[in-house]
Amino acid sequence: MQTTTKTAKEIYNDVKNNPARKRFGFGNKAVLVNIDPQKAYTCTDEFATAYETDPRQMEYINEMSKTFRSLGWPVVWTHVAYMESAEDAGIWGTRTDTPDSLQNIKFDSRRSEFDDRLEIDYVKDVVYLKKMPSAFFETQLQSLLVWHQVDTVILTGGSTSGCIRATAVDSLSRGYRTIVPEECVADKHESYHYANLTDLSLKYADVLTLAEVNQWLTQQQGK
């Protein structure tokens, strides 16, 4: 095992500035999957479970969502919420039991609500309730992607080390080109955030700047 005195952010920047692997690249058509941008994870002034990496994250997600709609490409939003008994959280909900615990994000609670800054089109967009980290796990996401004949999955939301990572691994495992715009994902601590961006970029996804993603999307609009 290699050892280092560098921070996770420094290691990420080294990998970013000196790429050793070729990119998976974009395909022909993409889906935008916005993972759990709900108040439990975005309202830092209200909930201890919330986090913020780039303060403009919600703005970036809104703008990308608009672009996807203009292309006629699918926009997906996921969120988590659980029954009063928490039995639908399964073993994942057994490690702690505090007001901040995952399984205590109850239906119709503020923690379960999408962030007020988001511009969700409830007519055109798809909203999935998920129970586990991956947006693919026991949701209809796979069927939606088959219907839309997409080959590229673009992920935003959080957390980088949790649901983003889990969804990226599942996405790659299903044969999709997977893209993570780095300004559009967030985590509780920069160490977790950058360590997982590094691992994602080395193994499972293309971690790109938002500018690179938007450039590709603009090219698609011009076709």
Told to judge if 43 belongs to the known catalytic residues of this protein, a careful annotator would answer: no
* Contact between residue 155 and residue 185 where contact means Cβ atoms under 8 Å apart: yes
- DSSP string computed for 158-220: E-IIIIIHHHHHHHHHTT-EEEEEGGGEE-SSHHHHHHHHHHIIIII-EEE-HHHHHHHHHHH
* Contact between residue 196 and residue 158 where contact means Cβ atoms under 8 Å apart: no
Q: How far apart are CA 178 and CA 24, in angstroms?
A: 8
* Contact between residue 182 and residue 197 where contact means Cβ atoms under 8 Å apart: yes
Which regions of 5-65 does DSSP assign to beta strands (E)? 30-35
Residue with tokens 């069927």: 143
CA distances to 67, 122, 123, 188 from 70, in Å: 5, 15, 14, 33
Please tell me the number of Cα atoms within 13 Å of 196 on its side-chain side.
Answer: 23
Q: How many residues does the chain have?
A: 223
In the set 31, 163, 184, 200, the catalytic residue is: 163
Active-site annotation, residues: 163
